Amino acid sequence: MTILGRLRDRSPKLSAEPARTPEGMRIYAVGDIHGRADLLERLNNQIQQDAAQHAEKALQLIYLGDYVDRGPQSQEVLELLTMQRPKGLTPHFLMGNHEQAMLSFLFDPLPSMQWLSYGGLATIASYAAGAWEVDRNDLLKTRAALRAAIPMHHRAFLQSLALSLRFGDYLFVHAGIRPDVPIEQQQALDLLWIRDRFLSHTKAHPFVVVHGHHVVETVDVRSNRIGIDTGAYATGCLSCLILDGAERLYLDTRQGGPRPLHEATR
């Protein structure tokens, strides 16, 4: 179930006042993990330590998708997300384009075989553990082996992922939104895959959009969006945005934190 339907009866914030979370709420948003369970475990510990200092608040933990592929530990990432989450925070899990591609392959591998070329092979390897290999000449056989290797709670988790989430003046999605399209009319294709049209848009959206999908060197704060995919699988840097009232902070696995954020100039 997505959160889109819940947004229809809420008027957007269009004033020049700073975006805010709901009163008494502290939000932690985690960028693209891509098979780096080692970084996820480290970042979760940092989040847990920070959250312990704000136990009186409504603590929300949002993962923005792309948990699998590219890095070597996709299976371990899904196990951490399903079974070993930080305590005392309410978790929310969004779908990334890589989870969508993985599910498509599990459903019908022939039209979805491109998943193998942009990260899927690493995910398969994490489940195969040397017991079997991808057979490109028999993708149905590969699909059957992968389906048998994936625990049911991992499959249930992947099938439960939401497309978007809103708290206060912030909208959380994996990739972004199509500019000037009402949120209830946004298509999954855009929320999971959009890039240039969203990234180049400089006018205000009805909300500040927090997203991953597009790799940046450090958390990228713009007037209408905040990008937090710092390329964990390649850089070793997994980032977390912290929102509390009008305050914006971040922490990551490279430098620790939390540290204040400043808006970038275009």
- Domain residue ranges in the chain: 21-165+234-260
pLDDT at 255: 86
pLDDT at 3: 34
- Residue 81's SS3 state is helix
pLDDT at 9: 29
Q: What distances in angstroms separate CA 78 from CA 85, 121, 192, 195, one per listed residue?
A: 10, 16, 19, 25
What is the pLDDT tens value at each position of the chain, 266 positions in all? 333 333 332 334 444 689 999 999 999 999 999 999 999 999 999 999 999 999 999 999 999 999 999 999 999 999 999 999 899 999 999 999 999 999 999 998 887 888 988 999 999 999 987 666 777 778 888 888 999 999 999 999 999 999 999 999 999 999 999 999 998 899 999 999 999 999 999 999 999 999 999 999 999 999 999 999 999 999 999 999 999 999 999 999 998 778 888 765 34
pLDDT at 225: 97
Which helix (H) or strand (E) covers residue 214, if one does?
Answer: strand 208-215
d(CA 1, CA 260): 34
CB 14 within 8 A of CB 223: no
Strand ranges across the sheet with 225-229: 164-167, 170-173, 208-215, 225-229, 220-221
d(CA 248, CA 128): 41
